[in-house]
Structure 1
Amino acid sequence: MVVRVFTASSSGSVAIKKRQQDVVRFLEANRIEFEEVDITMSEEQRQWMYKNIPQEKRPAQGNPLPPQIFSGGQYCGDYDSFFESKESNTVFTFLGLKPRLASKQESEF
């Protein structure tokens, strides 16, 4: 299952850039395979992202802001949802992935 993180490289918002970096760094640090999709470079990808965010997860006004996270084509959530799952140590569940065994356990087998 491919985790896709929709980002915007040309965002003028420092907060959005920081949130995008937080998600990407976390995935890299935990060796979770992912694809970063820059919606500022592809109108088709931007439209796909907008179309695939459930109506109840969209903001009351305006368009959903990056980062937006999908796994295997299924919508996982935005940064706030990701942050909540990170704080509660449920990121693998949030991403629809099976939790990994600790590396110490893996080396014992």
Structure 2
Amino acid sequence: MVIKVFLASSSGSTAIKKKQQDVLGFLEALKVDYAPLDIACNEDNRMWMRENVPVEKKPTNGIPLPPQIFNEESYCGDYETFFDAKEDNAVYAFLGLPPPPGSKKREVPMEECNRDEHTEEVEAEVGGETGEEAAEEAAEEKVAEEKEAVKDTEESLENTKAPVKEEEAQEEAEDEEAKEEEELRQLEEEEEEVTEEAEQEEEDE
């Protein structure tokens, strides 16, 4: 049984390219035999894919987008259903393949028996990563995202403070200027008073 993955090698969509790479990368990690079939360069591949995707699985416009996954003639699903199967640790069931011999369930303590029945199989498939390790990685990623968000907030606040500081400096400069003008006016008034007193004294003499 060969898994057929219908792809568009010359797709201009970054999202489609990423989905295709995700599917192929995961199949390679599981060492699953697959055949990539290009619908961009091969009209037969494109027509076969469109005709064999079930009607209920097609989008409203009737044209299914790659990647589309088949097991020989049997339709497995598109990227979304593949992703859901990967999240549920059920990729082999999704592909219609028996788990490899090396992925037999290992014996677990009774308190672990309530874990997902596929967990042990997928641990063997992807190199022994446990659900706890995956949870720790997810927690670390969340902490990193929160730190990044805090950093962005601090930078935003700094950018907000900068104009405020400029305004304060401008106000201080204006206050200083007004103060100097007031002092200058007082000096002029004092000079006028002195001049008037001098003139008065001369008149009195």
Name the TM-score, length of structure 2 as normaliser. Answer: 0.49
Counterpart Cα distance in 2 of 1:54 and 1:69: 12
Deviations 1:63-85 (A, max 9, x none): 11000000021000000000000
CA 1:103–1:84: 2 relative to 1, 3 Å = closer
Query: 1:102: how far off?
Result: 3.0
Give the structure 1 partner of residue 29 of structure 2: 29
Rg (Cα) greater in structure: 2
Give the structure 2 partner of residue 53 of structure 1: 53
What secondary structure is seen at the aligned counterpart in 2 of 1:35?
A: strand
- Where structure 1 has 5 or more consecutive residues not aligned to the other structure, the ranges are none
Task: List, as ranges, runs of 4+ consecutive aligned residues in structure 1 with deviation greater than 2 Å.
Answer: 101-105
Give the structure 1 partner of residue 65 of structure 2: 65
Query: 1:103: how far off?
Result: 6.2
Counterpart Cα distance in 2 of 1:103 and 1:8: 32
Give the structure 1 partner of residue 43 of structure 2: 43
CA 1:46–1:29: 2 relative to 1, 3 Å = same
Deviations 1:40-63 (A, max 9, x none): 111011000000000000001251
Counterpart Cα distance in 2 of 1:46 and 1:76: 17
Give the letter for the 2:73 counterpart. G
User: 1:88 and 2:88 equivalent?
Assistant: yes
User: 1:77 and 2:77 equivalent?
Assistant: yes
Counterpart Cα distance in 2 of 1:47 and 1:73: 14
Q: Number of aligned pairs?
A: 105
What secondary structure is seen at the aligned counterpart in 2 of 1:9?
A: coil
- Where structure 2 has 5 or more consecutive residues not aligned to the other structure, the ranges are 107-205
What secondary structure is seen at the aligned counterpart in 2 of 1:102?
A: helix
Identity %: 56
Which structure: greater helix fraction?
A: 2
What secondary structure is seen at the aligned counterpart in 1 of 2:81?
A: helix
User: Larger RCO: Structure 1 or Structure 2 (Cα < 8 Å, ≥ 6 residues apart)?
Assistant: 1
CA 1:9–1:86: 2 relative to 1, 3 Å = same
Cα RMSD (Å): 1.5
Give the structure 1 partner of residue 17 of structure 2: 17
Counterpart Cα distance in 2 of 1:101 and 1:13: 38
Name the TM-score, length of structure 1 as normaliser. Answer: 0.91
What secondary structure is seen at the aligned counterpart in 1 of 2:101?
A: coil
Query: 1:20: how far off?
Result: 0.1
Which structure: greater strand fraction?
A: 1
Give the letter for the 2:58 counterpart. R
